[in-house]
Structure 1
Amino acid sequence: MSVEDVDAAVQSSHAAFLKYRTVNPRVRAQRLLKWDTLIREARDDLAKIVVFETGKPLAEAYGELDYATGFTWWFAGEAERVRGTVSTPSAPGRRVFTVKQPIGVAAALVPWNFPIAMILRKVGAALAAGCTMIIKPSPETPLSVLTLALLAEKAGFEKGIINVLTTDLDNTPALSEALCRHSLVKKVTFTGSTRVGKLIAKHCADGLKKVTLELGGNCPVIVFDDADLEQAAAQIGALKFRHAGQACITANRVYVQSGVYEKFTEIMTKFAKDLKVGHGFEKGTTMGPVTTPRGLDKAKQHVEDAKANGARIMLGGQRMKEDGGFFFEPTIILDATDKMLVSQEETFAPICSFFKFDKEEEAVQWANNTSMGLASYFFTKNVDRTWRLLENLEAGMIGMNTGNSSAAESPFGGIKESGYGKESGKDVAVEEYMITKTGTLTLADHY
């Protein structure tokens, strides 16, 4: 699609919104549940599409689908829980009401790394609220998104309630800007890099549009001497190497207390060495390729920069040439410092970098030493330290003896340059797609 297609898509969505906003919340919930059922029934087909579009292993594709359908299930329940308020104000003889109403046509600009989950998390909330949605998928993953839209139609959502504008790399920026600037688009939700997120915010600012931004991460992990090292390694390993490190909440910097540094890095090196890299449909594959050639270039750049600045490459560090795919070796970097790119940038590749620290205060300072604030993680059995870290780490989500903590019932979103607004969770996610209208009533004869 091109810029010329945007207005027709928006007009279609707006016409559908004028009808859909009046649909009873229970009916919206029933359609969401039907959509959920159809997605689960198409699980094998969708998983296959995800493997071939993203490169992730089949087991991970199934995992994404199981995670993603948590959103359709959750938001089906939330559709009937939208509530306003009634209150008695200080002025005598008055009552104040608030009502919640859907904001209008929403636009979702989504990435390629979790094409099913990102759609259901955003669209599920919008449909529960009574909004219609235009989706602009990544050029790398259009088929999974189009399949979800087809299943939504089969579930009873009329044409126009979900529209999809597919793009290529060349016309993505212009089409996205046209969506953001269209007068009938009232809400924009974007997941992607901080650089692009700032551009989206600027486009939307002229129209004072409501925006949710879920942007890049440079997520730290802190492992203390008193941690359960096997538990920490299992959690961090799964977090780091899932989808070849291509997740915004992945472990980017791992700080390990000096007393267990050598032992823990040995455990993590073995974990990475045991990974089987290959095509997502090959039996036993536990890590696939990176999705784009840009990912390969950045991974190699980060490894070479670390080596040039004194780091030890304990494992990997090279592109794998087999079959000409975008495969990069699981990589372990030791003795990393804050002067290296692996500390300063989001790597988005299967590279796990380790930093040594002595005291809690310095670990927190280093962890917070980034413009990003999406997620932070720590591993300790000290309950007092747990509370301190929950309060002192600068991130929107904190994993406590936990790797990936994302779930439909948990608010998802960052602070600082990792964006603003929340997706999923109780109340807050649907609220992102609603306006609050206040009504004040004066009674004729107050009592």
Structure 2
Amino acid sequence: MTESKPLGTNPTAPAPAGARTAEDVVTPEVVAQLIRGVIGSRRTANHSPFTGAKLADLPEATPEDVALAFTRARAAQPSWAATSIRTRAAVLLRFHDLLLERQAEVLDLIQLETGKARLHAHEEVQAVAVAARHYGRRAMAYLRPRRHTGVVPVLTKVTEFRQPRGVIGQIAPWNYPLELSIGDALPAFVAGNAVVMKPDTETALTALWARDLLVEAGLPAEVFPVVLGDGPVVGPEIVRHADYVSFTGSTRTGREVAQGAAARLIGVSLELGGKNPMLVLRDADIEQAAAGAVRSCFSSAGQLCVAIERLYVHDSIADRFIERFAERTRAMRLGNGLAYGADMGSLAGARQLATVTQHVEDAVAKGATVVAGGVARPDIGPYFYEPTILDGVEPPMAVCAEETFGPVVSLYRFTDEDEVIEAANATAFGLNASIWTRDGKRAHALAVRLRTGTVSINEGYAATYGSVRSPMGGMKESGLGRRHGSEGILKFTQAQTVAQQRLLPLAPSLGMDDEKYAVVMSHALRALKALRLS
């Protein structure tokens, strides 16, 4: 991986002397170790976006292989569920420590498989460690039996139990192969479930590395089978056999997953697409907002479900903000080395590069202006594209409404806050939003008017996503269900209510006839209301 002369204004990050290569990291011994947990009778391969070269040969599952994976997981799940919550939680806490101790290994894999900069890869390590710590510490509180007031206080004793669903089918995407695979599986495991996971083949080594680490931390290998293969082949089989489906990916595929789950009357959680807005109000700190916009728009080359793609700036500060934002964007260093130093890495592959290129070219052809970027960088790697700012974007440009999922952001000016809220909400998506202002009270008042699952104030996405006690997910076509917090673990359980009636039945007794019983119960209901019991 070498330094190249830039074609555009963005510099390249120099490769450190003696830098590691794919051959140093993905050795035959490493691959053999990781694929031990993969069920598959065919062969496939994955590739690195940095070079386009093959990384490893991997097992590929047939429909029969997927059925076998669920059979094995279903056989192992009851004994895992029978262990105490404390024991299951301890696995997560040991995994947390192992992850931080051995993070260099997985950072190399994440970079090689996704092409992202190392700092952006570390965001995944941070997110998974936070989730492991949270559910390792809080699982007992989330899952403990809860006493409720019965229909007749004292006479009716009610307890709510949380039972694991069984075997979770998880379909994980390529863009965050550690966080959106293992990070989502952790609460399912601590809730007592088994998980059959289908990570994306191109980023499978990262997920398999984390599986290996979880097993080392004490998770029974049998409760965590992994299958690989094409989404249209393996995905429907996951849905066909699972007791619950966890899916992260495109809105189009999410609809298909939801339809398959509905046909079987099983639950599903979906985190789907976004066209996320950032609002820079007239009193915003311009320097902080410009720096925040770089992080919000170009982390992981914009291949992040909560990344900002629409940037609304108050007209009174627009020129100054755009100047500073563009300067920072042009100064970003692109790089393909397995080390810290690059500000942005590669797109994940040819499909993403084609979408980004098409959106930018279409916008320019219809009148938009490129403020920064706007060109591919094959001198660095086959799928590199400069971080790009577009001005003058309007319908019917594709970039105006469609999710780009790349390092491209569109600028819009506004003067009226009511109008900018309306514009921000004028999309089929509703995943994330960002507001920048010095007035926190005003920001909160605007935030609750945005139809998005999360809103970060003076941050792009990290403040909400990293606060794992609170739920994270989308509104509208951005998904169903939530990860994180109580919802992120309780979705992997089913509520079971056990009520014990004592002393008297809920029926005529003590010599009462039906009419007398009805009178007594009517008086009792009035008394319960007067006592403010619910």
TM-score (norm 1): 0.95
Task: Please report how far the alpha carbon of residue 177 of structure 1 lies from its aligned counterpart in structure 2 after TM superposition.
Answer: 0.3
Match of 2:335 in 1: 278
Matched, 1:430 2:430: no
* C-alpha distance in 2 between matches for 1:175 and 1:399: 36
Matched, 1:29 2:89: yes
Match of 1:360 in 2: 417
Q: How does 1:79-94 map to 2 (within 5 A)?
A: 79-81=139-141, 82-91=143-152, 93-94=155-156
Matched, 1:3 2:54: no
Task: Please report how far the alpha carbon of residue 84 of structure 1 lies from its aligned counterpart in structure 2 after TM superposition.
Answer: 2.8
* C-alpha distance in 2 between matches for 1:104 and 1:218: 34
Match of 1:77 in 2: 137
Match of 1:389 in 2: 446
Match of 1:19 in 2: 79
* C-alpha distance in 2 between matches for 1:147 and 1:12: 21
* C-alpha distance in 2 between matches for 1:364 and 1:301: 28
* C-alpha distance in 2 between matches for 1:138 and 1:3: 16
What is the DSSP-based 3-state SS (H/G/I as helix, E as strand, rest coil) of the residue aligned with 1:238?
A: helix
Match of 1:41 in 2: 101
Cα deviations across residues 312-332 of structure 1 (Å, max 9, x unaligned)? 111221111215520101111
Match of 1:139 in 2: 201
What is the DSSP-based 3-state SS (H/G/I as helix, E as strand, rest coil) of the residue aligned with 1:376?
A: strand
- The code of the aligned residue for 1:119 comes to S
| 2:278–2:460 Cα contact (<8 Å) kept | no
Task: Please report how far the alpha carbon of residue 387 of structure 1 lies from its aligned counterpart in structure 2 after TM superposition.
Answer: 2.8
* C-alpha distance in 2 between matches for 1:73 and 1:382: 33
| 2:433–2:460 Cα contact (<8 Å) kept | no
* C-alpha distance in 2 between matches for 1:428 and 1:283: 35
Task: Please report how far the alpha carbon of residue 80 of structure 1 lies from its aligned counterpart in structure 2 after TM superposition.
Answer: 1.6
* C-alpha distance in 2 between matches for 1:324 and 1:60: 18
| 2:162–2:496 Cα contact (<8 Å) kept | yes
Match of 1:98 in 2: 160
- The code of the aligned residue for 1:411 comes to P
Q: 2:249 aligns with which of 188, 192, 197?
A: 192
* C-alpha distance in 2 between matches for 1:119 and 1:36: 15
Task: Please report how far the alpha carbon of residue 175 of structure 1 lies from its aligned counterpart in structure 2 after TM superposition.
Answer: 1.1
Task: Please report how far the alpha carbon of residue 208 of structure 1 lies from its aligned counterpart in structure 2 after TM superposition.
Answer: 1.0
* C-alpha distance in 1 between matches for 2:139 and 2:415: 49
What is the DSSP-based 3-state SS (H/G/I as helix, E as strand, rest coil) of the residue aligned with 2:341?
A: coil
* C-alpha distance in 1 between matches for 2:277 and 2:207: 31
Match of 1:291 in 2: 348
Task: Please report how far the alpha carbon of residue 60 of structure 1 lies from its aligned counterpart in structure 2 after TM superposition.
Answer: 2.0
Q: How does 1:218-237 map to 2 (within 5 A)?
A: 218-237=275-294
- How many residues align? The count is 441
Matched, 1:166 2:166: no
* C-alpha distance in 1 between matches for 2:231 and 2:478: 22
Task: Please report how far the alpha carbon of residue 49 of structure 1 lies from its aligned counterpart in structure 2 after TM superposition.
Answer: 0.6
Task: Please report how far the alpha carbon of residue 384 of structure 1 lies from its aligned counterpart in structure 2 after TM superposition.
Answer: 4.5
* C-alpha distance in 1 between matches for 2:113 and 2:360: 26
When Rg is computed on C-alpha atoms for both structures, the one with the higher figure is: 2
Cα deviations across residues 32-64 of structure 1 (Å, max 9, x unaligned)? 112222222221111001110000112222232
Q: Given the superposition, is the C-alpha separation of residues 328 and 94 from structure 1 closer, same or farther in structure 2, using an over 3 Å criterion?
A: same
Task: Please report how far the alpha carbon of residue 65 of structure 1 lies from its aligned counterpart in structure 2 after TM superposition.
Answer: 1.0
Q: 2:426 aligns with which of 360, 369, 391?
A: 369
My pick for the range that moved more, 78-87 or 197-206, is 78-87
Cα deviations across residues 90-148 of structure 1 (Å, max 9, x unaligned)? 34622222111111100111111111111232111101111111110012101011111
What is the DSSP-based 3-state SS (H/G/I as helix, E as strand, rest coil) of the residue aligned with 1:144?
A: helix
| 1:332–1:353 Cα contact (<8 Å) kept | yes
What is the DSSP-based 3-state SS (H/G/I as helix, E as strand, rest coil) of the residue aligned with 1:352?
A: strand
Match of 1:177 in 2: 236
Instruction: Find runs of 4+ consecutive structure 1 residues off by over 6 angstroms.
Output: none
Q: 2:389 aligns with which of 332, 337, 340?
A: 332
Cα deviations across residues 238-291 of structure 1 (Å, max 9, x unaligned)? 111111111010001001111111111111101110101120426632111100
What is the DSSP-based 3-state SS (H/G/I as helix, E as strand, rest coil) of the residue aligned with 2:308?
A: coil
* C-alpha distance in 2 between matches for 1:257 and 1:135: 45
Matched, 1:65 2:125: yes
- The code of the aligned residue for 1:87 comes to H
* C-alpha distance in 2 between matches for 1:375 and 1:323: 31
| 1:149–1:163 Cα contact (<8 Å) kept | no
| 2:93–2:133 Cα contact (<8 Å) kept | yes
What is the DSSP-based 3-state SS (H/G/I as helix, E as strand, rest coil) of the residue aligned with 2:427?
A: coil
Cα deviations across residues 419-447 of structure 1 (Å, max 9, x unaligned)? 0111012x22110111101112111358x
Match of 2:477 in 1: 417
TM-score (norm 2): 0.80
| 2:118–2:340 Cα contact (<8 Å) kept | no
- The code of the aligned residue for 1:436 comes to A
My pick for the range that moved more, 99-108 or 28-37, is 28-37
* C-alpha distance in 2 between matches for 1:115 and 1:259: 41
* C-alpha distance in 2 between matches for 1:133 and 1:280: 34
The alignment's C-alpha RMSD in Å is 1.6
My pick for the range that moved more, 300-309 or 249-258, is 300-309
* C-alpha distance in 1 between matches for 2:502 and 2:287: 67
Q: Could you tell me which runs of 5 or more consecutive residues in structure 1 were left unpaired when the two chains were aligned.
A: none
What is the DSSP-based 3-state SS (H/G/I as helix, E as strand, rest coil) of the residue aligned with 1:157?
A: coil
What is the DSSP-based 3-state SS (H/G/I as helix, E as strand, rest coil) of the residue aligned with 2:477?
A: helix
Task: Please report how far the alpha carbon of residue 335 of structure 1 lies from its aligned counterpart in structure 2 after TM superposition.
Answer: 2.1
- The code of the aligned residue for 2:473 comes to G
Match of 1:129 in 2: 191
What is the DSSP-based 3-state SS (H/G/I as helix, E as strand, rest coil) of the residue aligned with 1:410?
A: coil
Task: Please report how far the alpha carbon of residue 349 of structure 1 lies from its aligned counterpart in structure 2 after TM superposition.
Answer: 1.1
* C-alpha distance in 1 between matches for 2:271 and 2:78: 28
- The code of the aligned residue for 1:162 comes to F
